[in-house]
Amino acid sequence: MAKPPRDATYDERLASRQGWLHIAIGVVCNNRCLFCMEEDREKRAITNAAMTPERVRWLLETERGAPEVCFVAGEPTTRQELPTFVAWARELGYPRIGVMTNGRRLSYAPYATALLRAGLNRAYVSLHAHTAELHEGLTRAPGSFAQTVAGIRTMASLRPPGFTLNTSTVVNKRNLPHLGEIYRFLRGLGVDQVVFNVMKTEGGGETHFEPLFPRYREIAAAFARVCREAGQPRPPTFLVDIPPCTTTAVPDFNRGFVEHPNRFETRLDHAGSPGEDVADSPGLARIRHVEGREKRGACASCRHDPVCPGVWSGYLARNGWEEFEPVQ
């Protein structure tokens, strides 16, 4: 499927999405984010440790043709084989090869250089605030702010032509008043795209819902202010994972995608989890993460209904349907 034109609408962009390949490899993480979807760290360690190099190679060969492969889950840079996995992806012809990371290990220039030489051409770095106090209150990892900022600066200074440096900031009640400051801080570090991700009611997002999860309408209003104050017609910032009916005040260009990965994990310790076993590869499952959302009858009259996955059940259980109105 061809890439949608730059002027495509939100609905057209979502309708044209292609499934990216996400491979869960990170056994551990050196942050302990309050809102982490992988709150069960012991289960993650068992599951991701079973994603052996042989399984990674099999997936890369089987899924050739995907527009992007991204190494995810836990903290992928703690996996010593990551440069090898990146090199395999380049060898097999993947046009975009990325890592979803907290960026702390990227602060070591020799390691960052090794990833770039292997073929890494995209990084998604998680930074949740513009100050150490705010960021580390969320990551529960002293020193993580300075290391992540250093990692972003290192990648910005070393990146070759064609490399894309993106960030991911999980929006919550603590950082919601500071979205504009966060955007300006990250752009000042050389970030290409600043992405604001809305929390999900999975893992820590469910456990810490009341103290952390803002209302969708509040998030959309705060992000719309960021866009207005950015000082350019199409600022490179996007709000994702939020029902589109709540973001009508946001410029259409800045309404980002809901995640649409083909994510693969090992089936070990995954009994009862959403996903389908992968043919010819016992122990692997394709995890789609579409369960846990709801729609109501009125959603059928909304223009976004064909591309909207619905609202998290955990969110509705606390806040109800009042703020969701079909867009005509």
Does residue 320 lie in a domain region?
A: no
Does residue 194 lie in a domain region?
A: yes
Least confident of 32-46, 70-84, 108-122, 155-169: 32-46
- Nearest to 232, CA basis, from 253, 212, 263: 253
pTM: 0.91
pLDDT confidence bin for 265, thresholds 50/70/90: confident
Q: What are phi and psi of 166, to 5 degrees?
A: -110, 155
Does residue 213 lie in a domain region?
A: yes
- Cα–Cα dist 216/202, whole Å: 16
Which residue bears the tokens 């709000």? 239
Q: Is the pLDDT of residue 58 over 50?
A: yes
Per-residue model confidence (pLDDT) at position 49: 86
Q: What is the mean pLDDT of residues 119-125?
A: 98
- What long-range pairs does 318-325 form, CB within 8 A, spacing at least 24? 318/209, 318/210, 318/213, 319/215, 321/296, 323/215, 323/216, 323/217, 323/246, 324/243, 324/245, 324/246, 325/245
Provide, rounded to the nearest whole percent, the portion of the chain with pLDDT above 90: 73
Q: Is the pLDDT of residue 276 over 90?
A: no
Least confident of 6-15, 33-42, 49-58, 171-180: 6-15
Residues 211-257: pLDDT tens digits? 999 999 999 999 999 999 998 999 999 999 999 999 999 999 999 87
Q: What pairs with residue 198 in β-bridges? A: 171
Per-residue model confidence (pLDDT) at position 126: 98
Does residue 46 lie in a domain region?
A: yes
Does residue 264 lie in a domain region?
A: yes
CATH number (domain holding residue 258): 3.20.20.70
Residues 190-208: pLDDT tens digits? 999 999 999 999 899 999 9
Per-residue model confidence (pLDDT) at position 48: 84
Does residue 17 lie in a domain region?
A: yes
- Cα–Cα dist 55/69, whole Å: 14
Least confident of 39-43, 100-104, 123-127, 186-190: 39-43
Per-residue model confidence (pLDDT) at position 271: 44
Looking at the structure of the chain, the number of domains it has is 1
Does residue 317 lie in a domain region?
A: no
Q: What is the mean pLDDT of residues 102-113?
A: 98
Does residue 113 lie in a domain region?
A: yes
Domain that holds residue 253: 10-293
For helices 216-229 and 179-188, angle between their N-to-C axes, nearest 10 degrees? 50
